[in-house]
Amino acid sequence: MRVYNFSPGPSALPLPVLERAAAEMTDTNGTGQSVMEMSHRSRDFKPIIEKTEALLRELMGIPANYRVLFLQGGASLQFSMVPLNLAGVEPKSASFVETGVWAKKAAEEASKYLEVHTRGSSKDKGYTYIPAPLPPEPGDAYYHITLNNTIVGTRWASLPDTNTVPLVADISSCILSEPLDVSRFGILYAGAQKNLGPAGTTVVIIREDLIGHAPSWTPAMLRYDIHAAEGSMYNTPPCYGIYIIGLVLEWLKGLGGAAAMGKLNREKADLFYAHLESSKLFRSPVEKSSRSLMNIPFVSTLSDAERRADLDTRFVKEAAAKGLVNLAGHRLVGGMRASIYNAMPIEGVKALIQFMEQFEVSHV
């Protein structure tokens, strides 16, 4: 029996995608072989990666002057690749807005290669809101934000004005969850395992004028220009992950694309937040103006810490017994968290709300 999987990542994939991948496991596109067996330079794999890129460009409206790269190393490797490739030969600086763990890690990694300016932080309230950001500093190579914060459940409702400084964003947990104007950014990057495909593939969308500025000593595997020149095939790319991303993009296109998905995601999130607002046992710790559509933490209203911890444990265990899995909150936050990515149907959200109502009756 399929469960409703609320994992923040690796996360649930659409059932039609999994079923198609299973059907094609030993014979993909009539080749008599699995994608996992194909040479990445073969005529069998070439149409797969080309179709995946074309679909991504179509669904995200990626302008012609941007390159799409399929890389490895997760979004965390981009914390290093971005500053290495944008800092240039001379030391420069970059601006960061600290809105959570991953935003902080991105800044810490960048500080190894250039001067970091913090232009806003919500650390004072446990990252439960998006702060009003300051403009970039003169001479900044880029301005970095984490568009959706997976752990704490916040999102940027509007983008900061960075003037001519390239805006760089980690969109791992919100890619294709709603329309996004790619032309507002210099670089977008996303680990696929949250909202796009399986773990192991990272998508980078980069404006062409930002390619080719890495110092000569930069390792080849960390240079955007090398990966771009080789069409993401400087080395063997994550072939199977790219194939699955392509299937997810086909599924998403069939549903109506990012606009239709954004409408559905808003409906799911509004439904869940409305329940939290009416609940006597659970609440959202995030300020309303900053709440994520993808990751929704919720905590008990109990004041006693020991009773609260016990209640959280029972909630997660009993929910799992009902087929509602991976609801434990991040260890740094506690409580619970429901990640309702694109692949989560509204029926899953309704099932969770029904369980929460029953649980509340038994524990209030």
Any idea which residues carry the catalytic annotation? 102, 170, 194
Peptide bond into 10 cis (omega under 30): yes
DSSP code per residue over 113-128: TSEEEEEEE-GGGTT-
Distance of alpha carbon 83 from alpha carbon 222, whole angstroms: 10
Distance of alpha carbon 143 from alpha carbon 94, whole angstroms: 6
Distance of alpha carbon 351 from alpha carbon 60, whole angstroms: 31
Distance of alpha carbon 172 from alpha carbon 338, whole angstroms: 16
Instruction: Name the one residue in this structure whose structure tokens are 């294709």.
Output: 176
Nearest to 146 by CA among 116, 104, 94, 198: 104
Nearest to 136 by CA among 101, 100, 88, 186: 186
